[in-house]
Chain A
């Protein structure tokens, strides 16, 4: 009976590599995990145990939560009141290589890459042994896995620079992944996206929330627009090539700006690639639940949730992009200005315009952009008191319009100023409800683009990348309240344009090199 020591798990919910893919439907579930990696922290709803990564509270170890935090909190768009570990270091630009949140996002990025690699390996095996419709489907799945891997590598190149590199060739085990330079990684992502371009479903033809060619084109455009930052070489013409593909793929601006951020935004014709959430089925204290609850408090309308957590709000420097002053809230704490994108809350009786204490939520200006109600004011689909049903619009057409204008302004060919102005005015007409906000070609400057990106895309996880591309994130002339841990803000060292390689991985992997300055 020594053979009794050879065990296989007896829990019906636990499968081993030996038997898990015996059922063809398992591939779609494994693919769902790759997408879910951006939305959920583990295998139990609500972050209730069985997390994917360790070293941090499960609901903090959520991809979107940390991506959002690292892209927004160090910028003029958001500031947080809480005392969680080192979270205030972001707004202060004082984060260190052992920061748990930076480590969490970095881990999450490479976790996602690892499971994509595993999926690609398994899909490859199955593609070789199947045929017909199922084989075709598997090929699409595999292309999507490669897209998601490229997406995560894009996050890595954007935030961490020269990073570890693993593909499906690297089997899981005890080894030290090699370091890849930013330039090499740029080429890898570029090649991957081009290779899968035609293996993905045509734009807008896949199931909702699954990546298609539109998503791949959009990501390529993002990569090219930021190429100067990543590699030192401008690629604005390439950016325009793919932006033109995106723009002509049949997406259209949503008639209602507000609808992009409500619980029924899955029906928006503008969204190119979302991360989905659902009050009953995709539950997570990180993700959109975090964004909606943490930005609520101080008497703000609840908009479909059961209460605010009083954490994140914006600052006076940012609302100044909308020319807002304290007195604009004299009659109504919910701002009702001509630009409908300015969704801010400020109750003069209890809130303070200036932030004297970062830890006091009611100092600053509340943001009511994301809501857990449907666009008609009714309850969210699959509504839950705590968990939010609103999807996160990671890529949307308006961003492509703004990127188009920027690439043209920066000298890319394949576009023209006239079209750029018309795209910008399409956004402004939606915002103002009429032509009153329209601009002319002479208004279209790079400074205007940066501000307009803020107005259109604030809190959508773009701000850090944008400020870095415009040279305004750290050492540029632009400062805002509490940047550099000084009330009215100071410039910070430019090495902070990149996050540090987390100390944990630097210690674990001798192939890595710390980013300069850390």
Chain B
């Protein structure tokens, strides 16, 4: 006997309707969700058990007897609620609603279903003010994150990453494409991004690029049901576009034409082959990936635990490139002494294997003569076609031509470049509520991050490029880094009438150690030049910090923070820095004269000011100490019959110190239309001062011509808007839309000690082509990495005229020989970055996509400027090179590296991922719920940029490992 049950779900505390609560008949797929009024209808039968659940509330079960109408009041589930709205702020947590700083928070549910090998990728396109890009399509490739444009020029621009209360060492480690790929994204519970200085100042000297706080998932109390989760996926990736080059037949015709009509030596014709080889097709592959994770959340006795096991294997689209990762994570959260001593113990172990393959093959595949076969029957190079020295007189087996392009397939076959990394992160946080003093809590936080990699890069003796420096045929290396942490702090909470105080104060000690060894040798042990080069260094950070949160009448919030940081990287007189911040927030909707309404549910205004620092100023951990460096073998000098190592005094800056960032932020958090529209708007201005710049110093005054010293200033100004909209919210149909917009303007305001208006700036942006050629500058009055090029002159048909540029200086003569004729142009960074993500749930199906629009980012097409030149077709030493068909656009014979022709507007829209899924609550009649999904990653890119991919970090496009398109199937099961 079935009937329709109607009902309403409300919050037990205030009676407000709960929207989107799930009502499911236990053990079946029968179920629905509440609408905007908290109401639902569901067909039921006698004896069925309904399970009512909603995020943040304790689950309710009701057995149906004969009810026609049900009113269900749900209680807030304390622990679950904290997971949703509490954000980490460093040495403590705060409810999101009470945060005074600019903070963006994500929980696991916000993450896209896609192939993700590292936590950084979770952030791509997700938060306003956060620009995340994967560097290229390599398996396990690094992602670059910039929060509000980055605060430094030459020092580190990566945000500080804190995993389970342990601030990590920011720089990577040799032999890992991406150091964070040792963290399994599936273990992540939440990510909080601290953007303004008031939020980050608690991390003082490491905070000026923002802070990312990652929290991993925890265990469950013993009273709850054991949760077992399995997720697995399988995907296939393939390249979807290739560099446009001439085919074998086209190339033969091209060479013929250059010889007949353009004066190319006829010797070039003698070197042509008869084949038609598409070298790019030879080096890429369809790449499978698979990942499996199992996690168990429950408790052993009274100790909640979470255990997770993960396995990832991913191939790159470049043959042989792959990464595999195994990891185990255990979280224990016992509590003792009647809950007065709580502990969080986290341990993660991961083992990552990398095969980097040989990315040199990518450039070789573009250049290698398409008229040559992959194998030509030689015996010296394993059969793989190799260009040989003309003078050796044997085109098949002669000595290799060392300046020629090497066979792309041989590049892959004859180089074996692999590494194995191990990482253990162990942390323990102990919170003790001090008896007899209610509100006082002492915390001890210990952390240890151990990281070791072993790698080898081995070139076969059959490789044509192994002849040049045979002593480097076998390279081996290892590196070990450790990071030890001790934090000790007190927290005191007190309410006095309408005043609430929350004070935190403490001490932090951190030690970073780095050690390693590089070695090289030849296969033949009699070849001299084998070397072992060890290195070792360390630095310390010691800090005192304090924070006061003061709340008046639950609507005026004040946060004051101070950190006093000492770093061993600086001399005693510059060692300590003070980093203060204050922030004020006003919960406007708590005011009676504004009040909460259906239109405006919540409004909070935030204002903040603060100073943070950057002590991570480069590889040299002792920049203020006058040191002498002994030369390594190979850099000895001869006196008589003996070779002596040399001792060099190194340049140093006795006064080197922190970079300082002063940040101002104003923000508004809002929740409108029955919480259907939530979001925030922030405007900010960040002034970076004492920026380290490697500037030319007066020659003769130190032991170099350049010195890294604190001279620069830079400003970042921006607006960020984050919006989450729920246009549709019905029981079986809902639509969530997330839009975030970032506008950032960056300008360098000072670079040198003497404010010389003629100072042209510091060269940066090295390109492929020639040696030492650059196309960008750090220059006062311009954004960082502004392009610095000649303005191309065009003929009446709009074609660029080779070598003809605008005579900016008016000095005439050789325009291209005069730097004064170069113009500062555009910037590699986008003006606007808009991320959009959408998720639709319809009955048991979900459909989502996420994409990004980047506007105003410019790219210098170095592939075209360096590989689309007629002159490169034939080299005097007797080899041919393919060129890009882009040459038809310019008809350039010789390199015109500084032509503005190659600077292109690379604005783009990229559809990062589209996915569909089917959700089920029981499988084979068991209580196994889950989801099965299909997704496509890197679906399409809309752009006018003429190169392969407009998304180029730092704006110079050369030889990137192309980003593939990926098709993925995911299964997740919950028991």
The reply to whether B629 and A14 contact each other, CB–CB distance below 8 Å, is yes
Residue A177 is within 8 A (CB to CB) of chain B in the complex = yes
- A515 → chain B closest CB, angstroms: 15
Q: A508, B267: Cβ atoms under 8 Å?
A: no
Residue B391, interface by CB 8 Å: yes
The answer to whether A281 touches B636 (Cβ under 8 A) is yes
Of A15, A53, A85, A300, the residue contacting B627 (CB under 8 A) is: A15
Asked whether, in the complex, the Cβ of B696 is within 8 Å of the Cβ of A307, the reply is no
Chain A residues with Cβ below 8 Å from B640 are 207-210
From known contacts A43-B629, A282-B636, infer whether A505 and B703 are also in contact, taking CB-CB under 8 Å: no
Give the number of chain B interface residues (Cβ < 8 Å).
105
- For chain B, residues 442 to 490, give those with C-beta under 8 angstroms from any C-beta of chain A: 467-470
- B701 engages A306 (CB within 8 Å): no
Interface residue? B760 (CB, 8 A): yes
17 contacts between A and B (CB under 8 A): A5-B568, A13-B535, A13-B632, A15-B630, A33-B648, A46-B634, A85-B771, A107-B705, A111-B699, A170-B700, A172-B701, A174-B655, A174-B701, A175-B701, A210-B640, A278-B636, A281-B633
CB contact between B876 and one of A8, A164, A298, A509 (< 8 Å): that residue: A298
Chain A min CB distance to B16 (Å): 53
A92 at the interface (CB under 8 A from B): yes
Q: Which of B633, B703, B819 contacts A114 (CB 8 A)?
A: B703
Given contact pairs A281-B638, A508-B697, a sample of 18 additional A-B residue pairs in the complex whose CB atoms are under 8 Å apart: A1-B509, A4-B540, A6-B572, A28-B639, A29-B645, A30-B647, A33-B647, A52-B703, A54-B705, A89-B817, A111-B704, A210-B640, A280-B529, A282-B643, A307-B389, A310-B877, A384-B529, A385-B470
Stretch of B272-280, B750-758, B963-971 with 4 or more beta carbons under 8 angstroms from chain A: B750-758
B698–A505 touching, CB < 8 Å = yes
Is B813 touching A94 in the complex (CB atoms < 8 A)?
A: yes
Across-interface contacts of A280 in B (CB, < 8 A): 528-529, 634
Determine chain B's interface SS by DSSP, over half rule.
Answer: loop
Contacts of A308 in B (CB 8 A): 403, 877
Let me know if B772 and A43 touch, CB within 8 A. Answer: no
Chain B hits for A485, CB < 8 A? 814
A447 CB–B CB distance under 8 Å: no
Q: Check if B630 sits within 8 Å of A306, measured CB to CB.
A: no
- Tell me if A100 counts as interface (CB < 8 A to partner B): yes
The answer to whether B894 and A359 have CB atoms under 8 Å apart is: yes
Query: Interface readout for A375-387 with B: 1 if CB under 8 Å, 0 if not?
Result: 0000000101110
CB contacts under 8 Å to A, within B808-823, are: 813-814, 817-820
Q: Is A86 an interface residue when CB atoms closer than 8 A count as contact? A: yes
B81-89, B371-379, B394-402: which lies at the interface: B394-402
Closest B residue by C-beta to A109:
B699
Tell whether, in the assembled complex, residue B631 and residue A44 are in contact, meaning their CB atoms are under 8 Å apart: yes
Which residues of chain A come closer than 8 Å to B878, judged between CB atoms? 299
A6 touches B568 (CB 8 A): yes
Q: Within 8 Å CB of A166, what residues of B?
A: 700-701
Which B residue's beta carbon lies closest to that of A42?
Answer: B635
B567 touches A7 (CB 8 A): no
| Distance (whole angstroms) from the CB of A368 to the closest CB of chain B | 12
**Chain A CB within 8 A of B552 CB:** no
Is B818 within 8 A of A110, CB to CB?
A: no
Q: How far is the CB of B351 from chain A (nearest CB, A)?
A: 28
- Within the complex, the shortest CB–CB distance from B556 to chain A, in Å, comes to 37
**Assembly CA distance A229 to B263 (angstroms):** 44
Contact, CB under 8 Å: A307 / B634: no
Contacts of B572 on A, CB cut-off 8 Å?
Answer: 6
| Known interface pairs A16-B625, A306-B467; A209-B639 also in contact (CB < 8 Å) | yes
The contact size tier of chain A is 35 or more
User: Which single member of A96, A165, A298 contacts B820 (CB below 8 Å)?
Assistant: A96
Q: Does B242 sit at the interface, judged by CB under 8 A?
A: no
CB 8 Å contact bits of A22-65 with B (1 = contact, 0 = none)? 00001011101101100110111110101011111101100000
A43 close to B877 (CB less than 8 A):
no
Is B248 engaged at the interface, CB distance under 8 Å to the other chain? no
Contact B771 A208 (CB under 8 A): no
B897 within 8 A of partner (CB):
yes
Q: How far is the CA of A357 from the CA of B627 in the complex (A)?
A: 48
A232 vs chain B, min Cβ distance (A): 26
Q: Cβ of A503: which chain B residues have Cβ within 8 Å of it? A: 758, 760
A282 and B814 form a contact (CB under 8 A):
no
State whether A83 and B769 are in contact (beta carbons under 8 Å apart), knowing that A7-B622, A29-B646, A310-B877 are contacts in the complex.
Answer: yes
Q: Quick one: which of A165-200 are within 8 Å of B by CB?
A: 165-166, 170, 172-177
Give A173 to B895 CA distance when docked, in angstroms: 42
In the complex, B241 has a CB within 8 A of chain A = no
Contacts of A26 in B (CB 8 A): 647
Of B533, B566, B871, the contact of A359 (CB 8 Å cutoff): B871
Q: Please, which residues of chain A bring their CB within 8 A of the CB of B818?
A: 94, 96
Contact of A4 among B536, B568, B698, B706 (CB under 8 A): B568
The residues of B that contact A86 with a CB separation of less than 8 Å are: 817
Residue of B640, B695, B698 ringed by the most chain A CB atoms within 10 A? B698
Distance to closest chain B CB from A8 (angstroms) = 8
In the complex the two chains form, is B628's CB within 8 Å of A96's CB? no
A85 touches B772 (CB 8 A): yes
Q: Does B875 contact A (CB under 8 A)?
A: yes
Whether B770 lies near A85 (C-beta < 8 A) is: yes
Within 8 A of A (CB), among B615-660: 621-622, 625-641, 643-649, 651-652, 654-655
Contact A96 to B819, CB < 8 A, known contacts A302-B389, A507-B696:
yes
Q: In whole angstroms, what is the CA distance A298 to B874 when docked?
A: 12
Q: Are A5 and B635 in contact (CB under 8 A)?
A: no
Question: Is there contact, CB below 8 Å, between A44 and B634?
Answer: yes
B637 and A282 contacting across the interface, CB-CB below 8 Å: yes
> Do residues B646 and A43 form an inter-chain contact, with CB atoms below 8 A?
yes
Instruction: Decide yes or no whether A9 CB sits under 8 A from chain B.
Output: yes
**Candidates B265, B696, B703; contact of A55 at CB < 8 Å:** B696
A71 within 8 A of B: no
- Asked if A2 is an interface residue, CB under 8 A from chain B, the answer is yes
Mask, A108-139, CB within 8 Å of B = 1, is 01110111001000000000000000000000
A300 in contact with B702 (CB, 8 Å): no
**Given the complex of chains A and B, what is the CA–CA distance between A9 and B705 in angstroms?**
23
Interface string of A339-355 (1 = CB under 8 A from B): 00000000001100000
Q: Kindly identify which residue among B391, B538, B626, B634 contacts A299, using a CB–CB cutoff of 8 Å.
A: B391
Residues in A with CB closer than 8 Å to B697 are 174, 508
Whole-angstrom distance between the alpha carbons of A16 and B625 in the complex? 7
Contact B704 A54 (CB under 8 A): yes
Report yes or no: B894 in contact with A84, Cβ–Cβ below 8 A: no
Convert B57-101 into 0s and 1s, putting 1 for each residue whose CB lies closer than 8 angstroms to a CB of A: 000000000000000000000000000000000000000000000
Shortest distance in angstroms between A378's beta carbon and chain B's nearest beta carbon? 17
Write the nearest CB–CB distance from B402 to chain A, whole angstroms: 4
Q: Is B542 an interface residue (CB 8 A)?
A: yes
A382: nearest chain-B partner, CB-CB: B528
Q: Is residue A362 contacting chain B, with contact meaning CB distance below 8 A?
A: yes
Q: Which residue of A lies closest to B267 (CB)?
A: A350
Closest to A110 in B: B699
| A20 at the B interface (CB under 8 A) | yes
- Does the CB pair A83–B632 fall under 8 Å? no
Please name all residues of chain A whose beta carbon is closer than 8 Å to the beta carbon of B470 when the two chains form the complex.
385
Q: Is the CB of A17 within 8 A of B628?
A: yes
Q: Who on chain B is nearest to A298 by CB?
A: B876
Q: With both chains docked as a complex, state the minimum distance between the C-beta of A343 and any C-beta of chain B, in angstroms.
A: 16
A425 to chain B, nearest CB (A): 34
Please name all residues of chain A whose beta carbon is closer than 8 Å to the beta carbon of B265 when the two chains form the complex: 350, 362
